[in-house]
A and B are shown apart, each in its own frame.
Chain A
Amino acid sequence: GAGVSQTPSNKVTEKGKYVELRCDPISGHTALYWYRQSLGQGPEFLIYFQGTGAADDSGLPNDRFFAVRPEGSVSTLKIQRTERGDSAVYLCASSLWAPLGTGAASFGSGTRLTVV
């Protein structure tokens, strides 16, 4: 079946601009996660949705970052007034609700964001 789909795969934007990154999770997966990964590092947690609600947004760096999942499926990560330090690969993952943890999360191929 289809995996987690992220669009665009690459995004170059100018400093100060607004960007939206989209994630289509695996059908039926109620849990959705956003991470970002810089070169040579592990993925860094940003936000976690269970259904439509943000169950944990403690990883969002500041109020320029916002994410929504209005119908409990597709999610959009929104970054306002982008800065060069926001450049990274933004990864989305989804999983079935697992009472004992995140379970087998399936990652998308990511969006490589470059702020120039």
Chain B
Amino acid sequence: GQQVMQIPQYQHVQEGEDFTTYCNSSTTLSNIQWYKQRPGGHPVFLIQLVKSGEVKKQKRLTFQFGEAKKNSSLHITATQTTDVGTYFCAGSDTNAGKSTFGDGTTLTVKP
């Protein structure tokens, strides 16, 4: 079945440094979503990418979808302490229905 892998598992940065997490799927995706989960919280939707090579920005966050629609990345510029949490990608290989989540990248930010 479809597998989604994320690296790194953990990332510790100093406040102000940049952060990137990578997501790779074993199959070609129809779309990919990114979620953020704070400690003790539930996943919160950040964005969905649909088109090959798509790049979307949300303030300091930049999301990319690979040309082959099998990988994606999330880049945070100049991290802040409010960025701490676990970032999950979730990919769907159909036009509707279930998404397969990666195991996330946990970001900690030292002030």
Contacts and interface: CB of A to CB of B under 8 A. Distances in A.
Interface of A: 31, 33, 35, 40-45, 48, 50, 55-56, 58-59, 91, 93, 97-110
Contacts, number: 78
A99 B101 contact: no
Contacts of A107: 35, 42-45
Contacts of B104: 41-42
A106 B95 contact: no
Interface string B27-39: 0001101010000
A100 B31 contact: yes
Interface residues of B, number: 26
Interface string B88-103: 1010100111111111
A105 B41 CA distance: 15
B30 to A, nearest CB: 6
A56 B96 CA distance: 10
Given A40-B103, A42-B88, A110-B42, A104 B98 contact: no
